[in-house]
Amino acid sequence: MAKSARFQVDPRLATLLGESYRSSEHALKELVDNAWDADAHEVDIQLPAPMTNDPIVIRDDGTGMTEQEVRSEYLKVASDRRSRKGEETLSLKRRIKGRKGIGKFAGLMAASTMVMETQAHGKRTGLVIRKEDLLDSRQDLEKIDLPLTTSECDERDHGTTITLTDLNQALAFPTAERLRELLVLEYGRRSDFTIRVNGEALAIEDIPGEAFTERAQLQAEGPVKLSLTFAEGKRPLKHPGVVVRVGGKVVGKPIYFGLDEDEEVPGKLLKKVYGEIEADGLAADVTPDWGAIIENSTGFKAVETWAREQLKEKLNKVFVRQMSLAKARLQQEIDRRLAGLPEHRRRFAEAALQRVLTKFYGESEERRGTVINVMLDAFERDEYWAVIQAIEVARHQGVATFADALGQFGLVDMAVIGLQTRRRLEILDRLDELMTRPDTQEKELHQVIERNLWLLEGDFTLLSSNQTVATILKKWADKEFTGDRAKKRPDLLLCAMLTGRHLLIEFKEPGHSIDRDDETQATKYRDDLRRHFDPLEVLVIGGRAATSVDANWRPPGLHVRSYAAVVSAARARLGWLLDQLTNDQQAA
Ligand SMILES: Nc1ncnc2c1ncn2[C@@H]1O[C@H](COP(=O)(O)OP(=O)(O)O)[C@@H](O)[C@H]1O
Ligand SMILES: [Mg+2]
């Protein structure tokens, strides 16, 4: 007699499936994928504040589901949606992300209770899934009763909200930052799909930078499209590189097509690349978990070769342009300082600066400012030229190889920078001492800082003081603080900044905390002096900001620093530079 048999599905399977994600952020992404598949335009993810019992809420404005759909589709385990409903979404023709029919369990990785509420066609359907019930049940998965509710809602309402409560305390809570990084990789450049995490939309389209798009038709692999953005800004990208997208879905990690091994490529710039390459022709070469492209894929080799060439060309283009831009911004100050040098020295100095700037390419403007400033100082000192001259003499005496080697590696420049940096660190030590002595007057600190404006470099690139500016300031103060007001005369210094701006510095005693009255005073001086110098910013340096003062409520263009902060920031910059030099020597 012919009999039949049936699989029995242990309910634990559901929680096992939910736990197969690498992190809770990966799990949440699965729920975002569901919103995408539901043709949502917006997804709002609310993460709990640390140390609270708040839930995680994922709300989308997609099609939602009717009770019937909840029963027949949502609750269907491991059914392939694409064979059921096709490769594309109904109205927006998006490529479906869901494929395994298990995404809904992802929420159970992070939480013990998952509430799903969905609205479609005037009906609201609610469903509660408890991990405990699944784990404790002795029955088959399909025999477990899940509480389901229905009610009326507005005909126009549609969308689904997943609420995850009783979060798994053993697990690292999902962080907004990590989740955004993850989502941006896949959804960052979609204009029809806005994702907000804690109320803030992902902002990859806003990443400022130079962008390129290249397309090609490869022989066997079909159409490929490469999009690249060279991100601006000082913050390093968390996931730089180019992701491969096959069938709309990202495969594996960002890559550089081997250019990270190429010595000719400026590595710092490479780390600014954010891009993707679409190569649907590689679909057959993707591993089943969509985690990588299978090794030895000849199709991928072809795509890679094309992409490497494109990327390298763009890198060079951007590099050349950014180098000259970076120089142009600093050029005014460089020219001014070099103008004081005799002609033959000037040409040499220009070449040396160029060499050093190339070496420090990709560092922040602030850091390049530090390097240039140190170099310019060195040029103004005779010992630099003494070294250069010694090398020239050596060259003529036939000790050429050594001298050439020195010149080639820029070791002279580096050595001089090193010397100069150490000298500056000594100045910082002196300032430290001065600052902490109880009887120090603001006048003394004023003198040291005026003679060493590089101290303020981090925030104000390439400051300089000159006679004209000083005279105008003095005239104003003489007029303003006469008679009994003379005692109130502030200790001021006016500096020219790069790009025509000016900075008014007011020095306070190192023991004095800067309060609102000081800020108001300083702003008033600035407003008075604006007639002569506009734009004009003002910096008050003193003990530190009074504890009662909220730095967020400060008028624009007003800066407050403590002497200690100035010293420690300068120390950090110089420390970095010394580190660079040491590494450089070792590499050479
Ligand atoms: N946010 C949602 N909005 C509308 N329908 C959804 C949503 N989440 C899930 N569904 C429905 O439930 C089904 C099962 O989802 P899931 O377990 O993630 O598997 P898959 O996405 O692989 O089909 C989906 O195919 C879809 O029909
Ligand atoms: Mg899914």
- Mean residue pLDDT of the chain comes to 84
| Cα–Cα distance for residue pair 503/492, rounded to 1 Å | 10
Element at 569 (helix H, strand E): helix 563-587
CA–CA distance, 34 with 116 (Å, rounded to integer): 12
DSSP notation for 299-357? HHHHHHHHHHHHHHHHHHHHHHHHHHHHHHHHHHHHHHHHHTS-HHHHHHHHHHHHHHH
Domain span(s) for CATH 3.30.230 in the chain? 207-317
Secondary structure of the chain: what % helix, strand, coil (to 5)?
Answer: 45, 20, 30
Distance 98 CA to ligand 1 centre (A): 7
What is the pLDDT at residue 588? 42
- Give the residue among 259, 255, 261, 258 at the shortest CA–CA distance from 275: 255
Which of 74, 100, 193 for mutating ligand 1's site (highest number of atoms within 8 Å of CB)? 74
Q: Which of 104, 160, 161 to mutate to test the pocket of ligand 1 (most atoms within 8 A of CB)?
A: 104
pLDDT, tens only, 421-453:
888 888 898 888 888 888 888 888 998 898 888
Class of domain 12-201: alpha beta
One of 1.20.1300, 1.10.10, 3.30.230, 1.20.120 is the CATH number of 207-317, namely: 3.30.230
Q: Report whether residue 34 contacts ligand 1, using a CB cutoff of 6 Å.
A: yes
Instruction: For residue 185, name the pLDDT band (cuts at 50, 70, 90).
Output: low
Ligand 1 site, residue 275, Cβ cutoff 6 A? no
Domain at 439-565: CATH code: 3.40.1340
Q: For residue 34, report the distance from its CA to the centre of ligand 1, in Å.
A: 5
Measured from the CB, is residue 18 less than 6 Å from ligand 1? no
Name which residue sits closest to atom 21 of ligand 1, judged by CA: 98
Q: Select the more confidently predicted residue: 245 or 357.
A: 245
Kindly report, residue by residue over 339-384, the tens digit of the pLDDT.
888 887 888 888 878 777 777 777 777 777 778 888 888 787 777 7
The minimum-distance atom of ligand 1 relative to the CA of 103 is 18
Question: What is the arithmetic mean of pLDDT over 214-242?
Answer: 85
Q: Please give the helix or strand (H or E) that residue 368 lies within, else none.
A: helix 365-379
What pLDDT sits at residue 413?
A: 67
Please name the residue whose Cα sits nearest to atom 24 of ligand 1: 74
Q: Ligand 1, atom 23: nearest CA belongs to which residue?
A: 101
Give the mean model confidence (pLDDT) for residues 304-320. Answer: 92
Backbone Cα Rg of the chain: 32
Distance 97 CA to ligand 2 centre (A): 7
- Cα 162 to ligand 2 centre (Å): 13
Q: Is 391 left (phi over 0), alpha (psi -120 to 50) or beta?
A: alpha
Averaged pLDDT, 533-550: 87
Cα(70)–Cα(61) distance, integer angstroms = 16
Interval 254-286: pLDDT, tens: 899 999 988 777 778 888 898 889 999 999 998
How does strand 56-60 pair with strand 209-218?
unpaired
Q: State which ligand 1 atom lies nearest to the alpha carbon of 58.
A: 1
Place of tokens 């951007």: 318
Q: What sign for the dihedral angle of Cα 183, 185, 188, 192?
A: negative
Q: Which residue has the tokens 């909840």?
A: 70
Q: How much distance in Å is there from the Cα of 37 to the middle of ligand 2?
A: 7
Task: Say if ligand 1 is within 6 A of residue 161 CB.
Answer: no
**pLDDT digit string (tens) for 483-527?**
888 888 999 999 887 667 899 999 998 889 999 999 999 999 999
At 196, which helix (H) or strand (E)?
A: strand 194-197
- The string of DSSP letters for 210-264 reads EEEEEEEEETTTEEEEEEEEEE-SSSPPSS-EEEEEETTEEEEEEE-TTGGG-TT
- Note if the bond before 510 is cis, omega within 30 degrees: no
User: Which pLDDT value is given to residue 91?
Assistant: 92
